[in-house]
Amino acid sequence: ASYKILLLPGDGIGPEVAHEAEKVLAWFGRAGLGTFETETDLVGGAAIDAHGVPLTEAALGLAKAADAVLFGAVGGPKWAGVPYAVRPEAGLLRLRKDLGLFANLRPAICYPALAAASSLKPELVEGLDLMIVRELTGGVYFGEPKEIVTLEDGQRRAVDTQIYTTGEIERIAAVAFDLARKRRNKVASAEKHNVMKSGVLWKDVVTRLHAEHYADVGLEHVLADNCAMQLVRNPKQYDVVVTDNLFGDILSDVAAMLTGSLGMLPSASLGAVENGTRRALYEPVHGSAPDIAGQNAANPLAMIGSLAMALRYSFGLSDAADRLDAAITRTLAGGTRTRDIAGTGVNAVGTGEMGDAIIRELEAP
Residues assigned a catalytic role: 141, 192, 225, 249, 253
Instruction: Report, in Å, the least distance between residue 80 CB and Mg ion.
Output: 20
Q: Nearest to residue 206, comparing CAs of 262, 240, 166?
A: 166
Is residue 298 involved in binding ligand NAI (CB under 6 A)? yes
DSSP of 341-358: HH-TT-PPB-HHHHHHHH
Check the annotation: does 293 bind a ligand.
Answer: yes
Could you tell me how many residues of this chain bind Mg ion (CB under 5 A)?
A: 1
From the list ligand NAI, Mg ion, none, pick the one residue 340 interacts with, judged by a Cβ distance below 5 to 8 Å according to partner type: ligand NAI
Instruction: Report, in Å, the least distance between residue 33 CB and ligand NAI.
Output: 25
Check the annotation: does 347 bind a ligand.
Answer: no
Q: CA dist 193 to 19, 30, 160, 174, 249, Å? A: 45, 51, 18, 20, 18
What is d(CA 351, CA 298) in angstroms, rounded to the nearest whole number?
Answer: 5
Q: Which is nearer to Mg ion, 111 or 247 (CB)?
A: 247
From the list Mg ion, ligand NAI, none, pick the one residue 76 interacts with, judged by a Cβ distance below 5 to 8 Å according to partner type: ligand NAI
Q: Nearest to residue 299, comparing CAs of 341, 333, 263?
A: 263
Is residue 249 involved in binding Mg ion (CB under 5 A)? yes
Interface pick for ligand NAI out of 47, 74, 205, 224 (rule CB under 6 A): 74
- 75-78 contacts, C-beta under 8 A, 24 or more apart: 75/11, 75/12, 75/44, 75/45, 75/287, 75/288, 76/11, 76/12, 76/45, 76/288, 76/290, 76/293, 77/290, 78/45
Q: CA dist 271 to 38, 90, 231, 343, Å? A: 20, 18, 27, 38
How many C-beta neighbours within 10 Å does residue 157 have?
Answer: 9
Check the annotation: does 284 bind a ligand.
Answer: no
Binders in 313-352 for ligand NAI, by CB under 6 A: 340
Q: Which is nearer to Mg ion, 98 or 249 (CB)?
A: 249
The one segment of 68-76, 82-90, 142-150, 246-254 that binds Mg ion by CB under 5 A: 246-254
What is d(CA 329, CA 222) in angstroms, rounded to the nearest whole number?
Answer: 31
- Structure letter (DSSP) for residue 259: S
The one segment of 94-102, 122-130, 147-155, 284-292 that binds ligand NAI by CB under 6 A: 284-292
Q: Which is nearer to ligand NAI, 90 or 140 (CB)?
A: 90
The one segment of 69-77, 145-153, 203-211, 318-326 that binds ligand NAI by CB under 6 A: 69-77
Close Cβ partners of 159 (under 8 Å, ≥ 6 residues apart): 145, 146, 147, 148, 149
Interface pick for ligand NAI out of 73, 188, 304, 362 (rule CB under 6 A): 73
Check the annotation: does 218 bind a ligand.
Answer: no
From the list ligand NAI, Mg ion, none, pick the one residue 291 interacts with, judged by a Cβ distance below 5 to 8 Å according to partner type: ligand NAI
Check the annotation: does 96 bind a ligand.
Answer: yes
Is residue 259 involved in binding ligand NAI (CB under 6 A)? no
The answer to whether residues 189 and 222 touch, using CB atoms and an 8 Å cutoff, is yes
Is residue 291 involved in binding ligand NAI (CB under 6 A)? yes
What is d(CA 73, CA 265) in angstroms, rounded to the nearest whole number?
Answer: 13
Q: Which is nearer to ligand NAI, 169 or 292 (CB)?
A: 292
The answer to whether residues 278 and 67 touch, using CB atoms and an 8 Å cutoff, is no
Is residue 89 involved in binding Mg ion (CB under 5 A)? no
DSSP of 272-313: EEETTEEEEEEEESS---TTTTTTT----HHHHHHHHHHHHH
The answer to whether residues 322 and 38 touch, using CB atoms and an 8 Å cutoff, is no
Binding mask 122-161 for ligand NAI (x = CB under 6 A): ----------------------------------------
List of residues contacting ligand NAI (CB under 6 A):
13, 17, 73-76, 89, 92, 262-263, 283, 286-292, 298-299, 302, 340
List of residues contacting Mg ion (CB under 5 A):
249
List the binding residues: 76-89, 96, 106, 134, 225, 249, 253, 287-299
List the binding residues for substrate: 96, 106, 134, 225
